[in-house]
Amino acid sequence: MITLNVDLGERSYPIFIGRQMLGDAGLIRPCINGTQVMIVTNETIAPLYLDKAAQAFAEFEPRHVILPDGEQYKNLEVLNQIFDELLVQHFDRHCTLVALGGGVIGDMTGFAAACYQRGVDFIQIPTTLLAQVDSSVGGKTGVNHPQGKNMIGAFHQPRCVVIDTDTLTTLDDRQLSAGLAEVIKYGLIRDIGFVGWLETNMDKLLARDPEATAYAIETACRCKAEVVTADEKESGVRALLNLGHTFGHAIETGAGYGHWLHGEAVGMGMLMAADLSMRQGWLSEEDVRRVENLIDKAELPTRAPHNMTYERFMELMAVDKKVRAGQINLVLLEAVGNAVVTTGFDPELLRETIETHRATE
């Protein structure tokens, strides 16, 4: 087992990465302060992992709440089901919530923990690759609004993150690829060496080779932990982690939540960011091909939905959180392995990027 640390003073916490860790009471015991534990999961994950995960919390006689499965349920109405259960079961403010699932469950459980009685503890047990390499670390929590992704939320750090890589064996291929998009992201942002490693090892990752997978997760978590330590509330360097996300969130919202997976939209968005960077004169055509090949190799889409016109993108990107004082901030690439946040892009070039990448129908 590997232990990484997210260093945030009194809000510091460990990330445990390894195999056969679900149900390990010794691991999570130091992370629990009170006596009440509520496991939040969904109808897909519950039959697979709820009993096993609950074993780790047996001494607390954990309760659970099972939410419907899907990005379209990541909203305030479904969030209320968690509060209903907590109140019915008389949970007090020393309780701990446990997020057992992918990024949707993690974001919702974390947000419920941030709000319930003005803030209670929570633990992340991420079960998708995407959640293991990204969403479970860093304390961003929240739900969607019909007008925009993740628009209602809070920063709330977990007490620990337990990444049992064995849970990935039941994940379907499309979800695995979606997670790989966020893995690729770390390389493109700040680690050219990791880009090279991914180019060589993508086949192993798709074949779920345990060693390669563990290495990718560790590298991603290390990067995320460093960035979050340097800039917890995203006033600087953390914004780079949004590479591909301004385009991606527009695609997710525009296509209707649940149609494009978050990671698929992010992969597409990273390719568009690379393309715009080339049009700005920062990247070579060869660089863009390299990004496209990597995304393609991860079996991610390389064409945006046909209905996502320039006007629709602009409309949706204007409500994205990266907009400041009316200007759209984009994360672009100065080089493969070096991202920057900029408002300095030419809208005409952006139009070209969007038109070039829209599917023909």
Ligand X SMILES: NC(=O)c1ccc[n+]([C@@H]2O[C@H](COP(=O)([O-])OP(=O)(O)OC[C@H]3O[C@@H](n4cnc5c(N)ncnc54)[C@H](O)[C@@H]3O)[C@@H](O)[C@H]2O)c1
170 lies in the binding site for ligand X (CB under 6 A):
yes
φ, ψ of residue 164 to 5 degrees: the values are -95, 105
* Measured distance CA(251)–CA(244) in Å, rounded: 11
φ, ψ of residue 173 to 5 degrees: the values are -60, -40
| Binding-site string for ligand X from residue 55 to residue 84, where x marks contact by CB under 6 A and - marks none | --------------x-x--x----------
Q: Which is nearer to ligand X, 175 or 353 (CB)?
A: 175
134 lies in the binding site for ligand X (CB under 6 A):
yes
Taking the complex as a whole, the smallest distance from the CB of residue 258 to ligand X amounts, in Å, to: 8
337 lies in the binding site for ligand X (CB under 6 A):
no
Taking the complex as a whole, the smallest distance from the CB of residue 114 to ligand X amounts, in Å, to: 12
185 lies in the binding site for ligand X (CB under 6 A):
no
Q: Known catalytic residues?
A: 118, 140, 182, 224, 234, 238, 242, 245, 249, 262
> Tokens standing for 229?
């330590």
What string of DSSP letters covers 326-339?
A: TEEPEEEEEETTEE
Stretch that binds ligand X, among 22-30, 97-105, 225-233, 274-282 (CB under 6 A): 97-105
Rg (CA), the chain: 20
Taking the complex as a whole, the smallest distance from the CB of residue 208 to ligand X amounts, in Å, to: 12
Residues touching ligand X: how many (CB under 6 A)? Answer: 30
138 lies in the binding site for ligand X (CB under 6 A):
yes
Identify which of 117, 72, 79, 126 has the alpha carbon closest to the alpha carbon of residue 98: 126
* Measured distance CA(79)–CA(116) in Å, rounded: 11
Residue from 4, 22, 40, 42 touching ligand X (CB under 6 A): that is: 42
32 lies in the binding site for ligand X (CB under 6 A):
no
Taking the complex as a whole, the smallest distance from the CB of residue 131 to ligand X amounts, in Å, to: 4
φ, ψ of residue 344 to 5 degrees: the values are -85, 75
Residue 255: alpha-carbon gap to chain centroid: 19
Which residues on adjacent β-strands are paired with residue 40?
A: 65, 99
Single-letter residue type at 116? Y
**Contacts for 94 with CB less than 8 Å, ≥ 6 apart:** 33, 34, 35, 36, 120, 121
290-319: contacts with ligand X (CB under 6 A): none
Residue from 14, 62, 248, 263 touching ligand X (CB under 6 A): that is: 263
User: Which residue number has the CB closest to ligand X?
Assistant: 103
109 lies in the binding site for ligand X (CB under 6 A):
no
Single-letter residue type at 35? T
Q: Which is nearer to ligand X, 247 or 345 (CB)?
A: 247
44 lies in the binding site for ligand X (CB under 6 A):
yes
Is 82:105 a contact under the CB 8 Å cutoff?
A: no
Is 101:42 a contact under the CB 8 Å cutoff?
A: yes
Give the alpha-carbon dihedral of 143, 148, 149, 152, to 10 degrees.
Answer: -30
Q: Which is nearer to ligand X, 119 or 193 (CB)?
A: 119
Single-letter residue type at 246? T
Q: Which is nearer to ligand X, 104 or 223 (CB)?
A: 104
Residues of the shown chain interacting with ligand X in the complex, contacts defined by CB under 6 A: 42, 44-45, 48, 69, 71, 74, 101-105, 107, 127-128, 130-131, 134-135, 138, 140, 150, 167, 170-171, 175, 178, 261-263
